[in-house]
Amino acid sequence: MERRFLAAAVQLAAGPDKQANLDTVERLARRAAEEGASLVVLPEVCFWRGERAQERAAAEPIPGPTTDRLAALALALGIHLVGGSILEQIPGAPKVFNTSPLFDPSGTLRACYRKVHLFDVDIAAHVSVRESDTRAHGGETVVVPTQLATIGLSVCYDLRFPELYRRLADAGAEIICVPSAFTFPTGAAHWEVLLRARAIENQAYVIAPNQIGRSPAGVADYGHSLIVDPWGIPLACAPNGERVIVGEIDLDYLDQVRRELPSLAHRRLGR
Catalytically annotated residue among 18, 44, 55, 131:
44
115 belongs to the catalytic site? yes
Residue 44 annotated among the catalytic residues of the structure: yes
Burial class (CB within 10 angstroms; exposed 0-12, middle 13-18, buried 19+) of 90: middle
Question: Measured between alpha carbons, how far is 23 from 267 in angstroms, rounded to an integer?
Answer: 46
Q: Is 201 among the catalytic positions?
A: no
**Among 41, 55, 34, 53, CA closest to 97:** 55
Task: Compute the distance between CA of residue 249 and CA of residue 255 in angstroms, rounded to an integer.
Answer: 12
Distances (CA, A) of 156 to 41, 84, 122: 13, 10, 17
N- to C-terminal Cα distance for the chain?
Answer: 28
Q: What is the DSSP letter of 56?
A: H
Q: Name the active-site residue from 18, 46, 88, 156.
A: 156
Q: Are 59 and 88 in contact (CB under 8 A)?
A: yes
Which region holds residue 16: left if phi is over 0, alpha if psi is between -120 and 50, else beta? alpha
Which residue out of 115, 131, 174, 177 is catalytically annotated?
A: 115
Task: Return the active site residues.
Answer: 44, 115, 156
